[in-house]
Amino acid sequence: MDAIEQVLAKARAELVIHEAGRVASVGPGVARVRGLPGVQSEELVSLHGRLLGLAYNLDPDEVGVVLLGASNELAAGSFAHRTGRILDVPVGGELVGRVVDALGNPLDELGPLRTRQRRPVERPSPPILHRAPVTRPLQTGLKVIDSLLPIGRGQRELILGDRQTGKTAIALDTILNQHGRDVVCVYCSIGQRSSAVAEFLAYLRRHDALSYSIVVVASGNEPPGVQYIAPYAATTIAEYFMEQGRDVLIVYDDLTRHARAYRELSLLMRRPPGREAYPGDIFYVHSRLLERATQLRPERGGGSLTALPIAETQSQNISAYIPTNLISITDGQIVLSPQQFRKGILPAVDVGRSISRVGGKAQLPCYRAVAGELRLSYAQFEELEVFARFGTRLDEASIATLERGRRVREVFNQLQYQPMPVAEQVAVLLAASEGQLNAVPVKQVSKAEQMIRSRVTSELPAICQRMESGEPLSDEDRAELLRVIEEVLTAFEEAAS
């Protein structure tokens, strides 16, 4: 008892200043609070019923607060308190394999998250001196992308297209192709239907991809404030692994809905609208997000964060406000064509309007050996095919170009959930670029392709391993591949006759 009395005698009560205010009005997703004179920008505000809000507008008489949850119980006159902290999310390896919301709360009924660290949602992007050139490829498993539009680790490649043209399918196949490659995948769903998110999660579980993935969900029925902070929270989670020296892939699906959520917030906050009613800082909203994706220097850990933002267009209008903003921020774009999608050409990549501004430097040497002229010849074929529809008489060279291009297009055609290894892609692309598939009927190209893939992997494992490891394709390896391809096609023609 003496010890307790001594401690109590030394204890002195301290006066703690606690700021409190009252809610003046509540709107859809926002509230206006009077009081809180010392509140700071983007500070968390505690509202009635444990509801959190983000101090957004700091006006002289009131504070505009973005609500980060349902506001059913919030009413004018409710108390609001400062928390003294900014918005943060839990980070760490415990999140791998989990599904969380934009605030880091678990949604998958697998128990609470027991992480040791929390990091701010808004973080500065790495300075230029901490960045290294993009020199390593990130394989998507899709022939048309890996050969013609390669993506490097640390790159930002925009996926652009109309509704229902396969944008999310490309991102999903890229995630599935990272199995066994020691790449952490973060998928951020913004404003999607809950059924679409559940279907995406089912595909990840079915292909055992959730074991190396983290899913951040801000569904369409969430308040606009939650949808606004979701991609920043997902990027903070991904940056933790990048700073540990690991390679990370993050998918934003999609930033068009994110821009609409921010426009809604800005209009509710009575900020002046600009073009298409978007606020004037909409470019900065996306640029400060995508600039966080990079390849770090070895002395900084050597990790990378590769971003695949998705944007939706209307009637293939890539010159609209949000698409042009994103195109100018990113390092290239993959444009999807609804016409090709309706024809069953999947993935429906418009090669003529798509580009990768960085990935060519990070592409494996074996691709450059077989697909160097394939992009130009394929673009010429697409233009010639449009010209040939007018019934113009063509010379023999043009007819040969058309026949070869149709077979190349059939080679690029690829079913979903079937990403292809590097060696098999190179073998098939070599057969197409050398014209060895010209004698095969277009409808039989897929069968011939299957035979080439299985034969090359079984008979030439050493060459396949060298291509996977990044070694250039030597003349001897090329001749050996052509020999096996010729044998396969000869047997195929004999079986067909």
pLDDT at 68 over 70: yes
The distance of Cα 146 from the centroid of its chain, to the nearest Å, equals 16
Q: What confidence tens digit (pLDDT) does each residue in 151-210 have?
A: 999 999 999 999 999 999 999 999 999 999 999 999 999 999 999 999 999 999 999 999
pLDDT band at 349 (very low <50, low <70, confident <90, very high): very high
Q: What confidence tens digit (pLDDT) does each residue in 42-62 have?
A: 899 999 878 999 999 999 899
Q: What is the pLDDT of residue 435?
A: 87
Q: What is the pLDDT of residue 391?
A: 67
Residue-wise over 100-112: b if at least 16 C-beta within 10 A, else e? bbbbbeeeeeeee
Q: What confidence tens digit (pLDDT) does each residue in 106-138 have?
A: 999 899 999 999 999 999 999 999 999 999 999
| Greatest Cα pair distance in the chain | 109
| CA 215 to each of CA 102, 125, 177, 225: distance values in angstroms, whole numbers, following the listed order | 10, 22, 17, 18
pLDDT band at 360 (very low <50, low <70, confident <90, very high): confident
- Which amino acid belongs to residue 15? L
Q: What is the pLDDT of residue 9?
A: 75
Q: What confidence tens digit (pLDDT) does each residue in 260-285 have?
A: 999 999 999 999 999 999 999 999 99
Catalytic residues: 357
Sheet holding 332-335, edge to edge: 99-101, 213-218, 183-190, 247-253, 304-312, 158-161, 332-335, 355-356
Whole-angstrom distance, CA of residue 262 vs CA of residue 285: 9
pLDDT at 455 over 60: yes
| CA 261 to each of CA 112, 223, 268, 277: distance values in angstroms, whole numbers, following the listed order | 29, 9, 11, 12
Q: What is the pLDDT of residue 1?
A: 57
The proportion of the chain whose per-residue pLDDT surpasses 90, expressed as a percent, equals 80
Contacts of 49 (CB under 8 A, 6+ apart): 73, 74
Q: Which of 62, 9, 139 is nearest to 424 (CA)?
A: 139
Q: Are 285 and 245 in contact (CB under 8 A)?
A: no
Domains of the chain with CATH codes: 20-86 (2.40.30.20), 90-363 (3.40.50.300), 368-496 (1.20.150.20)
Report which secondary-structure segment, H or E, holds 232. helix 224-243
pLDDT at 299 over 60: yes
Mean pLDDT on 255-261: 97
